[in-house]
Amino acid sequence: MFIVTNREVNESRSDVSAFGEVANRRGPNELRMAEAHRVGGKWKINILPDQISADMAASAELPHTVDAMGNAVGDKGEPIFASRYVARKLLARVNPRMVGDRRSKGRGLLFFVHGFNNNVKDVLDRAARLSNTYGVEVLAFSWPANGGGFKGVASYKSDKRDAQASVGALDRCLAKLSDYLQAAHQEHVSKVEKRANELYGDNAEKWDQFFTRQSEQWCDFPVTMMLHSMGNYLYKHLLMSSAYRGNVLIFDNVIMAAADTNNEDHRQWVDRIPVRRRLYVTINENDGALRASRMKMGEEQKARLGHWPFDLDSQRAVYVDFTHANGIGDSHAYFEGTAVTKNQRVRRFFQQALEGEAAEERLEFDAARNLYRVK
């Protein structure tokens, strides 16, 4: 799988120690990309160079020439960056038809933003579980959420500061994701238009039918985002910051899972989230991590959005309460583990949400609370 990060990286390392616990020394907005795979139960890490090699460009089927240093360059001599290589590889996995493979089945693309006190091994392990459980391709964004070397309350405060500092990096990452999806789409549209002109240049009705059918074949994979725990706090600060680039429509569904951010006035920023279909806010009143989050900070910490079933007043969010579902208990990550193995309704909800579908349609609606319940 691929991971994008604003952490400090060490290119000489090939295990999880390749990622540091602090932000990149060039600044918290600096992004690096890496490819990770398991060998003998351990993660092997390949930190990708900023400018890719000719071999990498060839493996991703990117048009290129080679400069004097052996790096891949475009037709105008411009460097080809690692982000373009990753985008091409991901698109080939989620939509094999893009590279001419009509036999393989595609899969959804999940952009995952983790929460508080997660090192990179934690992030990769969770991303792998999401991929294996739901059959999605995961692109993880990792920010320096290791507590800055502190423990307890100090660790929690340190991660909140790191989340705020990582706003620009997340903004750049989302912008790149949008740009590459749009570029790939435009490349496909150009090919379809050319073929439609060759086949039906004098028949507008058949031209439109062919164009629509072929375009839909390319766009048959969902793109979703899951923000877990303090990852929601990071996204909130992006939406409310001057760095935010506006209404960039990337995701079919957005899942705000166990959000460690204030319930109070959440409508002000939640209603700004651009999404094609559904924006889900998941709630567990017994969430042990969110209760601890509130206790660490005392009165300073207000009720968390992910555990408070009151004042749910967003006009765009679909609130889903998992509190009383079998297997949930005090879980903070009820999209994995016991919650989904013991309760098929929980699994079905997240499966449908991650596939860009309307996952609440079979659930009971509590009009008084403005939420759906998973039982």
Residue 54 within a domain:
no
pLDDT band at residue 147, thresholds of 50, 70 and 90? very low
Q: Using only C-alpha atoms, what is the Rg of the chain?
A: 22
**367 lies in some domain:** yes
Secondary structure class of 173 (helix, strand, coil): helix
The whole-model pTM stands at: 0.90
The encoded tokens of residue 232 equal 């929601």
**221 assigned to some structural domain:** yes
Instruction: Please report whether residue 246 resides in a domain.
Output: yes
- Tens of pLDDT, residue by residue over 53-79, are 999 999 998 889 988 888 899 888 899
pLDDT of residue 155: 58
Of the given ranges (44-53, 131-140, 207-216, 264-273), which has the lowest mean pLDDT?
207-216
Residue 358 in 3-state DSSP? coil
In the predicted model, is pLDDT for residue 100 greater than 70?
A: no
CB-neighbour burial class of residue 69 (10 A; exposed 0-12, middle 13-18, buried 19+): exposed
In total, how many domains does the chain have? 1
Residue 350, token pair as written in the block: 């997240």
Is residue 70, in this structure, part of any structural domain at all? no
- Domain residues for the domain of 183 are 2-48+83-373
Work out the average pLDDT over 259-274.
95
Q: What is the mean pLDDT of residues 312-317?
A: 97
Answer yes or no: is 76 within a domain.
Answer: no
Pairwise pLDDT comparison (66 vs 3), residue with the higher score: 3
Q: Is residue 73 part of a domain?
A: no
